Every structure is written in structure tokens, then in C-alpha cells.
Amino acid sequence: MPCEICGSETNLVKADIEGASLIVCKNCARFGKITGSVKVEASQEVHLQARQPLSAAEEPFEFVVKDFPSILKKKRESLGLNQEDFAKKLNEKLSIVQKMESGEFTPSLDAARKLGKLLGIKLVEQFREEQLKTNAGSSEGFTIGDVVKIKKR
């Protein structure tokens, strides 16, 4: 278990800091009063060493598909439903269906996932930053300009 302030995993103690009881390293304990020591069991140490946090490049980024309105409209039409019947099938207001199909409203990721599952279509895409190509030799990561260039392709 890491220090709840800086993330260090060595020399942990319990401390009261600003009215909260925290597990912190001895360095961060100076911000409050040490109230006890922390025993780290061997099983916890192994678990902590095995679990590495994901870097920004490994974390997937999810978004509602770009052509969501047209996909939704095509699916509705393929089911042979008008907007009113489609709204009833989705248990949603007609105005929401109209706004989704016109592109005025984009549902949240969770709502898009549920909608996609209900209709049997893919409405949420996912990619990892490592899939994007940067300028050759650049070790600084991505800039907003890199993302704009990729999105234009």
C-alpha cells in the first residue's frame, strides 16, 4: 500500500493530517501527527510489486463513434420503425431520439454502450495512445496538433 500523499511505498506510518487518519510515508508524516506504525504483510508486498499502474499510453480511450447519428438512423430504418415507435422500443422520449439522429445530442459512454448492446451495433470505440503515430524521433509524447492531424486522416 503506497503513501496516500506521495505514493512512496517505504517507511509507512499512520498519521492524523488535517483531521484525517492517513497512511503516509515518514516524509509526509511531517504534515500531521504520527499515531502509529503500519505493518505490511508479505502477501501485500508481493501483490503491490506485481501490480503496475497503467501508463497513459496503455490506458484505453473510449468515445462514442463519430457517425453515431447516421448509424442510429440506419438501424431504426432497418428495423422498419418510425422515430416514435423506435423511442418506445428504447423506452426513451421521442425528442431524445430526434436529437440523437440529428446529432444535437450524443449520449454518455454508458448510455451508448447500453444502446449499442440493445440494438446489436457498435456505438463505442476504443483505442490506445500507442496506436497513434508520432513524429519520428519525438520522445515528448503527443501534442494537440498530433491528435488533430490523426483525426483529419
Q: What tens digit of pLDDT does each residue of 33-57 get? A: 888 887 765 444 444 444 455 555 5
Among 29-43, 77-91, 103-117, 120-134, the minimum mean pLDDT is found in 120-134
Looking at per-residue pLDDT, the higher value among 51 and 106 belongs to 106
Asked if residue 17 is part of any domain, the answer here is yes
Give mean pLDDT, residues 81-92: 91
C-alpha angle 72-76-82 in degrees, rounded to nearest 5: 125
The domain that contains 78 carries what CATH number? Answer: 1.10.260.40
State the total domains in the chain.
2
Mention every residue, 6+ apart, whose C-beta is less than 8 A from residue 97.
76, 83, 86, 87, 90
Pick the most confident of 76-80, 128-132, 144-148. Answer: 76-80
Q: How confident is the model at residue 71 (pLDDT cuts 50, 70, 90)?
A: very high
For residue 1, how many other CB atoms are within 10 A of its CB? 12
User: Which of 151, 132, 153, 150 lies closest to 141, judged by CA?
Assistant: 132
CA distance 87 to 82: 9
For residue 95, how many other CB atoms are within 10 A of its CB? 12
Do 70 and 97 lie in a common domain?
A: yes
Do 100 and 122 lie in a common domain?
A: yes
Looking at per-residue pLDDT, the higher value among 37 and 14 belongs to 14
Pick the most confident of 2-6, 28-32, 72-76. Answer: 72-76
Counting Cα atoms < 13 Å in the Cβ hemisphere of 130 gives: 7
Q: Phi/psi at 52 (nearest 5 deg)?
A: -105, 135
CB 34 within 8 A of CB 21: no
Separation in Å, CA 113 to CA 2, 51, 71, 110, 145: 34, 28, 14, 5, 29
Give mean pLDDT, residues 121-132: 73
Do 72 and 34 lie in a common domain?
A: no
Do 46 and 83 lie in a common domain?
A: no
Quick check: 98 pLDDT over 90?
yes
Give mean pLDDT, residues 133-145: 55
Asked if residue 119 is part of any domain, the answer here is yes
Q: What is the DSSP letter of 125?
A: E
Q: Phi/psi at 4 (nearest 5 deg)?
A: -75, 0
